[in-house]
Amino acid sequence: MTSSSIILWWYSGFCKFYITVMTLLEIISRATELSSQGEHEAAISYYQEWLASSNSEQHLRYVAFFNLGTLFHNQGKIDKALVAYDEALKLNPDFSEASVNFGLALEAKSNITTKKRPLTLLDITNKVQELSSKLQFDAAITCYKEWLSSPIPEEHLRYIALFNLGVLFQNQGKIDEAIISYKEALQLKPDFSQASVNLNLALLAKRTSQEKPETKKEKPNNQQL
């Protein structure tokens, strides 16, 4: 949803009939000017201060609440926009523009709430197992690499991802990469016995490969956690 889809109602027609409306129109004019200059917080403050004051235009408070909600909405401050639109509708239940914008704000909030959550280690492991079953080992390795390189909510489980990445490397015969992964896992969890075992196996495989380069290397059938 773009800001252009949000209705902004100016209420300028009232200036022909009510001289007191000019105060609100001045607020609208000033807030618009500030917004065009990128000073959105200042524009919001104008409405907030006007609404907090005792003025002779109490019957137009719903207009100020509506325009305040629009400013919040365009700034992505959805909860505050909903409050402002709700206040406008309390004062004028028939204000259709406020109803429309309120609905748009609810939709925006729903989209934010249902936004794709960060992938967990379990999500990644399940995906890796699926890819591995299809012999897409490079894609499986990439899954762990991308997860490890991004901000993750399960930092305390990083060592498991590194271990599983090492297993994938080792089963693909990429011994040097496997050794690096196992060592990184052990740096995070020195008492991780399975990583120690696999590291020793990988080091042994490397030594054997260096001693007998003509011998075809066998891929160990290691299992991930």
Least confident of 56-70, 93-107, 116-130, 183-197: 116-130
How confident is the model over 25-75, as pLDDT tens digits? 888 888 898 888 989 998 998 888 888 887 777 888 999 999 999 999 988
Q: What is the pLDDT of residue 214?
A: 54
Query: Cα(88)–Cα(81) distance, rounded to whole angstroms?
Result: 11
CB-based contact 142:154 (threshold 8 Å): no
Rounded CA separation 31/51 (Å): 14
Domain CATH number, residue 148:
1.25.40.10
Structural domain boundaries enclosing 201: 121-211
Q: Residue 14 pLDDT > 50, yes or no?
A: no
164-187 burial: b if 16+ Cβ within 10 Å, else e: bbbbbbbbeebbebbbbbbebbbe
Same domain, 91 and 174: no
Distance CA 12, CA 25 (A): 7
Amino acid at 83: V
| Number of domains making up the chain | 2
pLDDT of residue 41: 92
Same domain? 10 vs 92: yes
Is residue 144 within 8 Å of residue 124, measured between CB atoms? yes
How many other CB atoms are found less than 10 A from the CB of residue 149?
8
Looking at the structure, tell me whether residues 155 and 96 fall in a common domain. no
Burial of 105 (0-12, 13-18, 19+ CB in 10 A): buried
Dist. CA 184–CA 199, nearest whole Å:
11
Structure tokens at 100: 């429309």
Domain boundary pick from 113, 132, 149: 113
pLDDT of 222 > 60? The answer is yes
pLDDT of residue 178: 92
Residue 218 domain-assigned (yes or no): no
Residue 202, classed as helix, strand or coil, is: helix
- The CA dihedral of 96, 101, 107, 108, to the nearest 10 degrees, is 180
Q: pLDDT-based confidence at 23, cuts 50/70/90?
A: confident
| 189, pLDDT greater than 80 | yes
pLDDT surpassing 70 at residue 213: no
Which of 113, 145, 161 finishes a domain? 113
The per-residue pLDDT for 7 is 54
pLDDT, tens digit, for every residue of 134-174? Answer: 888 888 899 889 888 887 667 888 899 999 999 999 998 99
Report yes or no: 188 and 158 within 8 Å, Cβ to Cβ.
yes
Question: How much is the pLDDT for 82?
Answer: 93
User: How far is CA 198 from its chain centroid?
Assistant: 36
- The pLDDT of 188-215, averaged and rounded, is 85
d(CA 65, CA 82): 10
How much is the pLDDT for 219? 54
- The answer as to whether 222 is a domain residue is no
Q: Look at 1-15, 60-74, 78-92 and tell me which has the smallest mean pLDDT.
A: 1-15
Same domain, 140 and 187: yes
Q: pLDDT at position 210, please?
A: 81
Indicate yes or no: pTM above 0.75. no
Q: Find where tokens 């390795």 sit.
A: 141
| pLDDT, position 127 | 87
What is residue 91's predicted lDDT score, i.e. its pLDDT? 94
